[in-house]
């Protein structure tokens, strides 16, 4: 690839987006990053996420919300491809405020796609989610499974995004890879997510609150593996004009909530202290990625185990707390 290649990254200040932006810059791309510092969590955390790239000569930052159109006039120079990570996140809060999720995740995504079509930008990687599978009875979850029964507004807005990208692929020959992420964790993880919350509780010697009996399971995937998968998908759309794919990115080894918490206590050298609370609505029983397609098309091979990824997260958290 030549250094002139420009990538527009939405959600560049978030957990996954900031790691991705750093990797793109390291690979020699010019990156135009958009983020609105959504107040879902503290702005200073996102500013910290961007601290490694803000002074980079090949990085151009636009503070804007994709729900509006004002960002479009701020995009400088040609754009070769788009990686769309920006979204309102969180299953539980989507149940409390579904309209905001429709606005950002559906209207915002359509604004972006319409802008791409108008500018003749024909390559897109879209961040979808394993939540589209709902309580799928069949495991592992395969891209061919029916996903017509979302159990949260967040899930249905992510499925809507996949359908929107298909529409633009069909009408305008846009090359699209939709990536369904499975429970991403690692350094910079959002503070509302379980691992980040649990580590803070354990560090403060507070009891860990666990919803349900601990038997729900998640296919925890380390952020570095996810970013490697996104970069491979970005290479794939560049090499395959007029393609449309939906691809799982997971670790393909689900772990129960109880095991996760036990592992954290073990790594942090503390005695388990767990408070069990009733299950939350909208939470799926389990996630489990079939990654055969990702391996076939993207040579995707997750390399970081849950234990190693948790060790890295705890080290990051401790360094930040000093």
Please tell me the distance from the alpha carbon of residue 309 to that of residue 111, in angstroms, as a whole number: 36
Phi, psi of 9 (to 5 degrees): -115, 115
Spell out the alpha helix ranges (H) of the chain. 15-26, 43-50, 91-96, 98-101, 109-119, 153-172, 194-203, 223-239, 257-267, 292-298, 306-321
**Are the beta carbons of 10 and 17 closer than 8 angstroms?**
yes
ω into 140 cis (within 30 of 0) = yes
Q: Nearest 5 degrees, angle CA 152-CA 294-CA 83?
A: 65
Please pick, among 101, 154, 168, 244, the residue that the annotation labels catalytic.
154
In terms of phi and psi (left: phi > 0; alpha: psi -120 to 50; beta: otherwise), the region of 269 is: left
List the one residue out of 92, 88, 90 whose CA is nearest residue 280. 92
Phi, psi of 63 (to 5 degrees): -90, 110
Please tell me the distance from the alpha carbon of residue 300 to that of residue 293, in angstroms, as a whole number: 9
Known active-site residue 172: no
Angle between helices 194-203 and 306-321 (to 10 degrees): 60
Please tell me the distance from the alpha carbon of residue 10 to that of residue 37, in angstroms, as a whole number: 11
Please tell me the distance from the alpha carbon of residue 56 to that of residue 87, in angstroms, as a whole number: 25
List the one residue out of 271, 231, 203 whose CA is nearest residue 25. 231
Catalytic center residues: 154
């Amino acid at each position: 690839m030549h250094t002139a290649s420009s990538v527009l990254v939405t959600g560049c200040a978030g957990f996954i987006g900031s790691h991705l932006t750093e990797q793109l810059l390291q690979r020699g791309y010019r990156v135009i990053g958009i983020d609105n510092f959504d107040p879902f969590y503290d702005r200073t955390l996102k500013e910290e996420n961007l601290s490694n790239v803000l002074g980079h000569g090949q990085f151009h930052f636009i503070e804007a919300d994709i729900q509006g159109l004002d960002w479009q006039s701020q995009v400088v120079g040609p754009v070769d491809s788009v990686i769309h990570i920006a979204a309102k996140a969180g299953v539980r809060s989507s149940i409390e405020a579904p309209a905001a999720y429709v606005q950002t995740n559906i209207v915002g995504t359509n604004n972006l796609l319409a802008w791409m079509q108008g500018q003749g930008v024909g390559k897109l990687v879209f961040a979808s989610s394993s939540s589209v599978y709902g309580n799928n009875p069949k495991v592992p979850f395969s891209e061919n499974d029916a996903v017509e029964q979302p159990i949260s507004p967040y899930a249905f807005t992510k499925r809507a995004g996949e359908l929107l990208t298909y529409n633009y692929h069909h009408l305008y020959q846009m090359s699209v890879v939709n990536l369904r992420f499975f429970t991403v964790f690692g350094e910079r993880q959002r503070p509302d997510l379980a691992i980040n919350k649990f580590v803070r509780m354990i560090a403060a010697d507070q009891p860990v609150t666990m919803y349900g009996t601990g038997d729900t399971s998640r296919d925890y995937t380390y952020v570095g593996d996810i970013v490697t998968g996104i970069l491979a998908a970005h290479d794939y759309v560049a090499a395959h004009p007029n393609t449309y794919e939906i691809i799982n990115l997971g670790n393909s080894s689900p772990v129960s909530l109880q095991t996760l918490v036990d592992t954290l206590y073990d790594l942090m050298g503390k005695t388990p202290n767990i408070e069990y609370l009733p299950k939350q609505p909208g939470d799926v029983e389990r996630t489990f990625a079939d990654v055969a397609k990702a391996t076939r098309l993207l040579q995707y091979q997750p390399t970081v185990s849950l234990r190693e990824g948790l060790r890295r997260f705890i080290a990051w958290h401790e360094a930040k707390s000093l």
